[in-house]
Structure 1
């Protein structure tokens, strides 16, 4: 059984219930990378649903800002967190720097 995270979004403002930061907060991002280890596409599909909800709830926020917040953060995590490199024969989820 998977532990329940306290870092859940408070809608419609999409603020983290645990720390008050914009959701997904850094703690939740790290949790997601751990929970979806090896299943990058599944994690992005999961987050895409939140992205669509947030776009509808916050129509005055530019969609590019929300896209980066909900989907683009993966490549901005510190080194050593998640998919920094992919095994041979697997697509890299982030562009090479």
Structure 2
């Protein structure tokens, strides 16, 4: 179990206080979903949907890159 979970509504990492998903959590997610990259995209897409509501003040493209852009 990771300690690098999101703190809502700011979407900061609980362990390192960086924007979530932080580099550590990204690495963990890539390992956890190594055999299911499509499921990882769906999972992160669901977080993107929630984060867009919480981070409505942030530019949409920035939030998109934060949640899905690193999966490219």
Q: Decide: shared fold, TM above 0.5.
A: yes
Larger Rg: 1
TM-score using structure 2 length: 0.96
Runs of 4+ in 1 over 3 A off after TM superposition: none
TM-score normalised according to structure 1 size: 0.72
Q: Which has the higher contact order (CA 8 A, sep 6+)?
A: 2
Aligned residue pairs: how many? 72
> Which of 45, 50, 59 is residue 48 of structure 1 equivalent to?
45
CA-based RMSD: 0.7
Higher helix proportion (structure 1 or 2) = 2
Q: Which runs of 5+ in 2 are unaligned?
A: none
Gaps of 5+ in 1: 76-97
